[in-house]
Amino acid sequence: MKPFFTRSGWIARVTFLEAIRQRFFAFLLVLSAAMVVSSVSFRFMDFGHSELKFVADFAFGGMFLFGSVLALVMTAQLFFAEIDNRTALTLLAKPLSRTEFLLGKFIGTWAVLGVFVFSLAFLQGVILWSRAQELIVLATESGRVAPEFSASGLFSFAVLQWFRLGVVAAMVLMVSAVARTFLFAVVVGAMTIVAGQLQWLAQEALLKPSDANALTKALLWLSSRVIPNLQQFNIGDTLVLDPSAVPADSVGAVVASGLFYLIAFLALASLAFRRREI
């Protein structure tokens, strides 16, 4: 078992080094960081929510949007770079199984996504904490209820986002394992992300009593099981600003669900890649 993880670890290491050097990664990280920082300037807008909630939602949105783009494009790009540049020929001629290769690619990509998520979460934490301190002083002076900010909640949120991006990367890797071109992998990968974002609709439709026929119900049931619910990871503002409202075991349950889909998609990717001609 040890050589399996050692070899995957080396693939992951080189994948990480390759990804972290990409201008695309740097561009999205800077763009997302700019979005997080600029969220402070929108604090005077009032859409019926508290200031910190608006700032947090805006920054979480940036992390979600650019993180999804990064997970989608970078996973497909790193996979197809090995195939198109024929480095895979050299690597897969070695005593390295295709599962080890795919696992290494995934771990390397997921590590880069971790750098992305936790860097932004740290930046957002600094911004939210400093603004929360100002608001606490103002609230104390005016006798209002002071806003709450939970650093551990932000960390939990970052972990959830990291798992969400991990599920996305695993889905894209599964699509890439069968796709012939990078473009096909990106387009189909994007569709699976959209399907994951809308999966809750299938779940809701199943729960509601309806006169839909058996086939429709079967399709709804299937899509609610096969497609992961990516919306379940979006409990960031509650975790950060009102942590007591989140049940203690909910983060663990979402992580477990993400881990299940992540492993399932990687297993399917490995199965599909096994007989692919390199």
208 class by beta-carbon count within 10 Å (0-12 exposed, 13-18 middle, 19+ buried) = exposed
Rounded least distance, CB 9 to other proteins, Å: 9
Between 11 and 202, CB nearer to other proteins: 11
Q: Counting contacts by CB under 8 A, is residue 277 touching other proteins?
A: yes
Q: Counting contacts by CB under 8 A, is residue 93 touching other proteins?
A: yes
Burial 68-80 (b: 16+ CB within 10 A, else e): bbbbbbbbbbbbb
Q: Counting contacts by CB under 8 A, is residue 1 touching other proteins?
A: no
202 class by beta-carbon count within 10 Å (0-12 exposed, 13-18 middle, 19+ buried) = buried
Close Cβ partners of 44 (under 8 Å, ≥ 6 residues apart)? none
Site for other proteins in 14-53 (CB under 8 A): 14, 17-18, 21
Rounded least distance, CB 274 to other proteins, Å: 9
Between 92 and 206, CB nearer to other proteins: 92
Q: Counting contacts by CB under 8 A, is residue 179 touching other proteins?
A: no
Site for other proteins in 46-85 (CB under 8 A): 85
Between 120 and 269, CB nearer to other proteins: 269
With contacts defined by CB under 8 A, name the span among 10-18, 111-119, 189-197, 261-269 that binds other proteins: 10-18
Cα angle 242, 246, 247 (rounded to 5 degrees) comes to 150
At residue 252, φ and ψ (nearest 5 deg) are -60, -40
Number of residues that bind other proteins (CB under 8 A): 24
Rounded least distance, CB 31 to other proteins, Å: 23
Rounded least distance, CB 85 to other proteins, Å: 5
Q: Counting contacts by CB under 8 A, is residue 10 touching other proteins?
A: yes
Among 65, 83, 96, 246, binds other proteins (CB under 8 A): 96
Which residue, 236, 157, 163, 225, is CA-closest to 195?
A: 225
CA 248 from centre of chain: 22
Cα angle 118, 25, 268 (rounded to 5 degrees) comes to 80
Chain positions contacting other proteins, by CB under 8 A: 3, 6-7, 10-11, 14, 17-18, 21, 85-87, 89-97, 275, 277-278
